[in-house]
Amino acid sequence: MSTRSIYNIKWNKNNLCFYRHWDGYLEEGGKELATLLVHYQKPSKFIKGMFFQSRGIYIHDMDRPLYELVNSPNMGEEFIYNITFNGDKLSIDVQAEKIEKKEGFNIDNQDYDVSWSSVYKKSGTFEEVANDFFKYCSDLSYKATQEELKKSA
């Protein structure tokens, strides 16, 4: 099972769209994205950093890119990360997919409605937003880890 995500990046007149197949939820993919933002601190370096991230967890994935450049979203994603750089300002809007059952729900016949809702949204100076997003995702990651530890105890 994978949690697919799309990363729409706007910078000046450039629009880039990256796809990530694995771990796109905020606790993992969001935290890794926030780490890149905090580390690189300039849009050009951040984007270059995304190109060079690899997924090195499993043997069959060694040295394969973590983020793939795609022409457009619509890859069956569950999370959409909208990142806008505007001078020294940064805006992040993360949206999560919501699936709601229709009457007579049948997933094989796709009797469900899909909608999107913002789960994190902030604009401000680059440093302020990057640090806030990192803290937000890190807190979610810590909470998820603690919940898993309780289950295994």
**pLDDT tens digits along 45-91:** 999 999 988 876 666 666 788 899 998 777 788 999 999 999 999 99
On average, the pLDDT of the chain sits at 87
pLDDT > 70? residue 112: no
pLDDT in tens, 13-36: 999 999 998 889 999 999 999 999
Structure confidence at residue 58 (pLDDT):
65
Extract the tokens encoding 87: 């001078």
Structure confidence at residue 72 (pLDDT):
77
Model pTM score: 0.86
Structure confidence at residue 103 (pLDDT):
61
The secondary structure of the chain as a DSSP string is ----EEEEEEETTEEEEEEE-S--SIIIIIHHHHHHHHHH-SHHHHHHHHHT-EE-SSGGGTTEESSEE-SSS-SS-SEEEEEEEETTEEEEEEEEEEEEEPTT--GGGT-EEEEEEEEEEEEEEHHHHHHHHHHHHHHHHHHHHHHHHHHH-
